[in-house]
Amino acid sequence: MDKTVLRRDQRWLQEELDRCVRFWLDNGIDRVHGGVYTCLDREGKVFSTDKSVWMQGRCGWTFAHLCRLYGAREEWLEASRTCIDFLEDHCVNRAAGGRLYFTVTGEGLPLRQRRYCFSEAFYAMANAEYYGITGEREMLERARRAYDLYWDLNHGMPDPVNIPPKTEPETRRGRSFGIPMIILNVNGVMQRVDPERLELYRSQAAQSVEEIFRYHVHPELKCVLENVGPEGQARLYYTDGRVVNPGHDIECVWFLLDHARRTGDRELVGKAAQIFDWAIERGWDRQYGGLLYFVDCLGRPPEAYEHDMKLWWPHDEILISSLMLYRDTGEEKYLDWFETTLDYCKEHFSDPEYGEWYGYLRRDGLPTQPPCKGSTFKGPFHLPRMLSICDKLIDEILG
């Protein structure tokens, strides 16, 4: 380990964080209707006023998270609060058991409800993190209700919105990797801010880890499968059954490492490292660099058109997971992956002129045209989360 290099990296991460935060505060916050716009072009101009409900929750969490790490700042608290208030006032479908919408208009009229329930997860995270800063009890109660709803919907509760599944359940039922993975992430926030229900959260975190390894981790294929049968069966006879999302796998690695640190489970550290090794081996593009978006576990053609693009968020996850793995294992190869990925991001994703990162690159590393900094799925979340967590990880590693 070269301490000088790591300190240099840290300074760059801190500068990028400042640019990223400024970009969203200056361009994304809706001063009229509340909440955040995330469909922003390279310069920060809004190109669609429809609002992502995921991003209201994620932005609400991000700015409260920054307050926790760096100290409460009024501007950050206001950004978090406006997103949380917008969620509460406009994004909860109270006629459908408190389910949240997926998208709404700029002023908050409902546009789309989706079957899966990640909006609820991010709503819970935002309220919980804000409660951790301010102590406002209503935020905790909201977080508990949304967390419990997310858990129950994914463990047998009938969905009050009654949206049909993607496939006929009598023909093909299955499990999705994202569900226990996101539960584990939200659960970690709940454990930190809500000690009154600590035993419940610990039990559900353990169950989520068990589900990940029981159903989705397939050592015989050396990968994590996104979609499996009800009992974890690998269904390799159609394309969705062979999908590997390397960035998703690597994101889950640091969720598992956080859980391992909370529980003292050293064996889990080794299991998480194995998932990282499989994912980076399958996903890293040896011709152009960067991580491919989707790969097929048998090396066959992926069906998704964007499979060979390079997206910002998987690279954020490599940076967090590789630093955590270096911290927890001491293996230099993980520090090497951190430096390799950071170099790629500096060259291809970063935009010092306007701040924030390009969201979507072609396989050769050039931004899609015209370039954008935000979308329905990209906002102030993955990048500021990575920059802040890696900043603190480097302090931890260097003592």
pLDDT per residue rounded down to tens, the chain (399 residues): 889 999 999 999 999 999 999 999 999 999 999 999 999 999 999 999 999 999 999 999 999 999 999 999 999 999 999 999 999 999 999 999 999 999 999 999 999 999 888 999 999 999 999 999 999 999 999 999 999 999 999 998 888 888 888 888 888 899 999 999 999 999 999 999 999 999 999 999 999 999 999 999 999 999 999 999 999 999 999 999 999 999 999 999 999 999 999 999 999 999 999 999 999 999 999 999 999 999 999 999 999 999 999 999 999 999 999 999 999 999 999 999 999 999 999 999 999 999 999 999 999 999 999 999 999 999 999 999 999 999 999 999 998
Residue of 84, 196, 184 lying closest to 144 (CA atoms): 196
In this structure, is the dihedral angle defined by the CA atoms of residues 338, 344, 348 and 354, taken in order, positive or negative?
positive
Residue of 304, 329, 194 lying closest to 243 (CA atoms): 304
C-alpha dihedral, 41 to 42 to 43 to 48, nearest 10°: 10
Query: How many CB atoms are closer than 10 A to CB 330?
Result: 11
Give residue 32's pLDDT: 98
Q: How far is residue 316 CA from its own chain's centroid?
A: 9
Residue of 198, 179, 178, 176 lying closest to 188 (CA atoms): 198
Give residue 170's pLDDT: 83
- The answer to whether the pTM exceeds 0.75 is yes
Q: For 87-215, where are the alpha helices, taking DSSP H only?
A: 118-134, 137-153, 178-193, 198-211
- Single-letter amino acid, residue 242: R
> Do 139 and 60 form a contact (C-beta atoms < 8 A)?
no
Bridge partner residues of 311 (DSSP): 360
Give residue 169's pLDDT: 82
The single residue listed with the structure tokens 């990880």 is 393
> Do 37 and 49 form a contact (C-beta atoms < 8 A)?
yes
Using CB atoms within 10 Å of the CB of residue 58, give its burial: 0 to 12 exposed, 13 to 18 middle, 19+ buried: buried
User: Which tokens is 282 given?
Assistant: 């399958």
The architecture CATH gives domain 1-165: Alpha/alpha barrel (1.50)
